[in-house]
Amino acid sequence: QGCPQKYVVKNYFYYYLFKFSAALGEEIFYITFLPFTYWNIDHSVSRRMIIVWSIVMYIGQVSKDILKWPRPLSPPVVKLEVRTNAEYGMPSTHAMAATAISFSFFIATMNQYKYPFELGLAAAFVFSTLVCLSRLYTGMHTVLDVIGGAVISAVLLMLLYPAWDTIDHLLLTSPFCPLFSIVVPLVLCYNYPKLDYYSPTRGDTTTILGAAAGATVGFWLNNQYTVPAYTSKSFQLAFSLIASKMTVVLARFFIGILVVLLTRWLMKSVVLGVLGYRYKFPIRDLEARRRLEVEVPYKFITYSSVGFTATVIVPQLHELLGL
């Protein structure tokens, strides 16, 4: 499973388009777009997206390991990815994430910002469609996997939408929010469905729930201490004065991403070092890092720190620098 197949690219436009589209459903996109939304657009939009994203992704990852539907056989398909080949296929979590993020962003912004409804709907549809098609092109999913993922995500979004405001209010005001945000995801990670062989789904799920937990604690803390928020007004001003505001937007983004990546590197090194000392294994021992007692705390602590940094530390740094 770890050996990449040989293939010949005949159409470089489709190849790079769908390789790029596939990345829109992976960590590289989550760790850039979600913080960018929080730093430069609107806190309320970002909170709703993160809530939907974490719930949808958890259900999708668990569904994979309960259903245990295999990925497409190779041959006849050629698989352009190796890492996710160890996972099961149904539902496509790329399709779920793309549908959840694009349409939750559209729904959360359509009543706050002035833009054509048709344009927003089309953008959400194109984004999710490109990611879905990329899973077929790369040979990682069947059509049924992709349709199933998109439909499940759409249903979950419709079920969650009526409770958005209530959930958001509780996350910001309840004194139990920090405890709930940490304990519940940890319990879910430690009780993740067991498989007969190692799959990265548990680690990926822990990463997602950890990031959401850290961000949620950050949301609550910001609300308690009234940290200045980026509002819809400032975002609309950025549209009207694009030339003068683009520098600020880019500065916020690049400084924030640098701090987030440094946090991830630092916490990963520290936590793995502590766990390696506790369980007597070298940090580079991949098999040891896959054990439940190592993988869950290592990824949860690392990415909850990332989520907390993105929502609390980075905005404070932006304010300090006058951004």
DSSP string, 44-103: HHHHHHHHHHHHHHHHHHHHHHHH-PPPPPTTTS----SGGGGS--SS-HHHHHHHHHHH
Backbone φ, ψ for residue 25 (5° rounding): -110, 20
Given a cut of 50, is residue 255 above it in pLDDT? yes
This prediction has a pTM of: 0.83
Residue 289 tokens read as: 């890092």
Using CA atoms, how far apart are residues 320 and 312, in angstroms rounded to an integer? 12
Candidates 43, 94, 169, 318; catalytic one: 94
Given a cut of 70, is residue 238 above it in pLDDT? no
Chain-centroid distance of CA 306 in Å reads: 12
Chain-centroid distance of CA 268 in Å reads: 18
Residue with tokens 């740094």: 317
Is there a catalytic annotation at residue 141? yes
pLDDT digits (tens, 9 = 90+) for 186-224: 999 998 888 777 778 888 899 999 999 999 999 998 888
Confidence at 239, pLDDT banded by 50, 70, 90: very low
Using CA atoms, how far apart are residues 59 and 64, in angstroms rounded to an integer? 9
Candidates 43, 141, 169, 318; catalytic one: 141
Is there a catalytic annotation at residue 43? no
